[in-house]
């Protein structure tokens, strides 16, 4: 079954009785009981499928988890209260019986870097950063640090670099270091990390999956060898997504293919236009034939579906000039997120990478003139017109 069909049908239409709901309803119950204690005992012991307590399982959330496992071709999925809680769960579960060392891409979402340095480091979990797009450097770093896990993003935030995930997964397997991939920017429609050898794939469901700016959530999908620790930790720690958020996420996913195809098409048009603007110094876009990772992108991504994120640098701008540009926008939404149906803009130095020092940001190439765009499904001409008047 093709992924566009899975988006619509997977997880839905379970039979609770003699009738079947067309879409999975919202089950708000915190606990569930069965006709006999023997059956409840089997459910509690995970010998029989079924909900018993909503920290363990909830029918609405379980439907979303089934859908996401199917989309990513994973063994199982756990839906969490946020993307960061999902990533935290993924990393901790991977390190349970492995060295407490992480090899991480040096270009990551700021909150992820903050988690590694300010949450994990005081707990004795060491992180070494590496240029994930330099395969030789990754291989050398794995040999030197002997990590318990490798962490990367499919497309880095915010400069949109793409590492050779399948080859990194092979390096990790040789060293018994599972690859964890934040696949938020790409979605399963573009890239499925588990198919490329990763052990765990993580998404902020807040973004493209739900897609409408009304959900906070995350999901962790894992292969058979790594799912049980994730589920066990989740049952104990309880970072679970609410049934309301699960319902909205599942509803949003049904239109993911349509939204993402339009967003990717719009992004190509906007990126091409920005590249010709006299006030724009540089454009970062995965669909650019001159992208530094163009060969990897062509190999791993479907043709013409390169994502809907753009970053660009305003010529000679500092914080004040960037703020002026963003304040001038009339259609594009200034907000700290991405992946919605409306086009959004963010200033990485203020928002996504605020927790990094200016020197760290500069070292990563995140200058004070960098702006990030998440392209929506509006008419591309209207997005361009808004950018044009704001850059004037």
Catalytic residues: 55, 109, 182, 207
> Which 3 state secondary structure label does DSSP give 197?
coil
For residue 83 the two structure tokens come to 């993307």
For residue 301 the two structure tokens come to 């991504």
Q: What is the C-alpha to C-alpha distance for residues 185 and 196, in angstroms, rounded to an integer?
A: 16
Q: Roughly how many angstroms between the first and final C-alpha of the chain, as a whole number?
A: 49
Residue 153 bridge partners (DSSP): 182
Q: What is the C-alpha to C-alpha distance for residues 309 and 372, in angstroms, rounded to an integer?
A: 7
Helices (H), 10-145: 37-44, 59-71, 83-95, 110-114, 135-145
Contact 148, 95 (CB under 8 A): yes
Please report, for the chain, how many H helices and E strands are present, in that order.
Answer: 15, 12
For residue 222 the two structure tokens come to 């894992």
Give the max Cα distance, the chain.
73
Residue 105 bridge partners (DSSP): 130
Q: Which helix (H) or strand (E) segment is 247 a member of?
A: helix 243-253
Residue 203 bridge partners (DSSP): 219
> Which 3 state secondary structure label does DSSP give 260?
helix
**What b-and-e string marks burial along 105-123, b requiring 16 or more CB atoms within 10 Å of the CB?**
bbbbbbbbbbbbbeebeee
- Going by DSSP bridges, is the β-strand pair 218-222/370-374 parallel, antiparallel, or unpaired? unpaired
Contact 296, 162 (CB under 8 A): yes
Q: What is the C-alpha to C-alpha distance for residues 348 and 351, in angstroms, rounded to an integer?
A: 5
Beta-strand runs (E) in the chain:
76-80, 101-105, 126-130, 149-153, 179-182, 200-204, 218-222, 280-284, 309-314, 333-334, 344-346, 370-374
> Which 3 state secondary structure label does DSSP give 53?
strand
């Amino acid at each position: 079954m093709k992924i566009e069909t899975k988006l619509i049908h997977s997880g839905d239409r379970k039979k609770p009785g003699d009738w079947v709901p067309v879409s999975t309803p919202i089950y708000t119950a915190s606990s569930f009981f069965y006709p006999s204690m023997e059956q409840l005992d089997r459910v509690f012991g995970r010998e029989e499928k079924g909900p018993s307590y909503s920290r363990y399982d909830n029918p609405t959330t379980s439907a979303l988890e089934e859908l996401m496992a199917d989309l990513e071709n994973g063994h199982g999925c756990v839906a969490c209260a946020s993307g960061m809680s999902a990533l935290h769960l993924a990393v901790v579960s991977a390190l349970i019986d492995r060295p407490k060392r992480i090899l991480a891409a040096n270009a990551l979402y700021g909150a992820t870097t903050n988690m590694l340095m300010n949450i994990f480091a005081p707990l004795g979990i060491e992180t070494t950063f590496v240029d994930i797009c330099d395969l030789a450097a990754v291989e050398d770093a794995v040999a030197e640090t002997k990590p318990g896990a490798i962490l990367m993003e499919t497309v880095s935030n915010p400069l949109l670099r793409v590492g050779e995930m399948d080859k990194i997964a092979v390096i990790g397997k040789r060293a018994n270091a599972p690859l964890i991939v934040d696949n938020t920017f790409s979605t399963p429609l573009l890239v499925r990390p588990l198919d490329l050898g990763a052990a765990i794939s993580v998404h902020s469901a807040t973004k493209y999956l739900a897609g409408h700016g009304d959900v906070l959530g995350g999901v962790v999908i894992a292969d058979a060898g790594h799912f049980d620790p994730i589920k066990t930790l989740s049952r104990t720690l309880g970072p679970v997504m609410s049934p309301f958020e699960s319902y909205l996420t599942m509803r949003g996913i049904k239109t993911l293919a349509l939204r993402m195809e339009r967003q990717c098409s719009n992004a190509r048009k906007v990126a091409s236009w920005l590249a010709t603007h006299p006030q724009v110094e540089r454009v970062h876009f995965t669909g650019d034939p001159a992208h530094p990772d163009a060969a990897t992108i062509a190999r791993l991504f479907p043709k013409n579906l390169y994502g809907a994120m753009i970053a660009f640098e305003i010529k000679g701008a500092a914080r004040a000039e960037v703020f002026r540009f963003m304040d001038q926008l009339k259609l594009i939404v200034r907000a700290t997120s991405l992946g919605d149906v409306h086009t959004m803009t963010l200033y990485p130095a203020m928002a996504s990478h605020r927790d990094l020092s200016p020197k760290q940001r500069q070292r990563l190439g995140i200058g004070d003139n960098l702006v990030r765009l998440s392209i929506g499904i509006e008419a591309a001409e209207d997005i361009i017109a808004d950018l044009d008047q704001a850059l004037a």
